[in-house]
Amino acid sequence: MWKKFFAFFGFLSIFKRNRNINDEPLISTADNEPVLSGTLIVPPVLSATLIEKPEPLMVPFTTDIEYLDPSMAIEIPTFLEMVEEKGIRIKITCTARLYKCQVALYAQGRQPIEEVNRLRALAGMRSVYASEASNKVTWTLVSTHLVNFDDTDADNDYSQAFDFVVMERAKAIWDPKVDVNENLIPDYEEVGKIAESFGWTWGGRWRNKDLPHIQKKRI
């Protein structure tokens, strides 16, 4: 799948990826113990005029930028470079997810653990303990991460958002005040401002703050 992705972007690349699709996506919460779902190093330059439709998503969620809106995906390498220039390293933890996954995530913190794990099993996700099931990890059922390959609307084949986490060495840091580059500015705020420079929306501006969430601006 990645070969096809890089082929239609028309360049040769070197990348390294180590992904376990059965792990939980890292979602916008400082309360959960992170389960790393993959390492992705995106090539430095992308240029494209034709974007090929991605294959249907066969797992509950993915970190692949192939499923990200092409207008965002093409900017990801530059975005990551700008983040690294600030002395910050991040990991993309989720791009697209299926509706069953979203329903299961929305149940966390709202439904009994038995119902949470029933919904997670239906979505093909691992079970969680009571401590994790009690934490709200999403505020909506109508997520900008959702993709739908069953309708005729090609726009629904792409996620309009991605989540990320700040990394310190090999550890994911959810602390909203984390300052890995020690410049007295929270790293999530710095990354959010860089995202906004691309015309994207950063969840840190919302009433219910979602610091690790970046999405395409709605028109």
pLDDT tens string 49-62? 445 788 999 999 99
Q: If pLDDT is split at 50, 70 and 90, which confidence band does 16 have?
A: very low
Structural domain spans, the chain: 2-95+143-215
pLDDT at 164 over 90: yes
Q: What is the pLDDT of residues 166-216, one digit of tens each?
A: 999 999 999 999 999 999 999 999 999 999 999 999 999 999 999 999 999
pLDDT at 66 over 60: yes
CATH architecture of the region 2-95+143-215: 2-Layer Sandwich (3.30)
Dihedral over Cα of 121, 163, 135, 209: its sign: negative
Tokens of 98: 């299926």
The residue among 160, 205, 155 whose CA lies nearest residue 51 is 155
According to the model, what pLDDT value does residue 152 have?
A: 79
pLDDT at 88 over 70: yes
Q: If pLDDT is split at 50, 70 and 90, which confidence band does 150 have?
A: confident
The residue among 206, 216, 176 whose CA lies nearest residue 76 is 216
- Compare 42 and 17 and report the one with higher pLDDT: 42
**Which residue type occupies 145?**
H
According to the model, what pLDDT value does residue 27 have?
A: 52
Tokens of 79: 């975005």
Q: Which of 32-41, 42-51, 177-186 has the highest mean pLDDT?
A: 177-186
pLDDT at 24 over 60: no
Tokens of 214: 């970046």
- Compare 33 and 86 and report the one with higher pLDDT: 86
**Phi, psi angles (nearest 5°) of residue 163:** -110, 155
What is the percent of the chain where pLDDT is above 90?
68
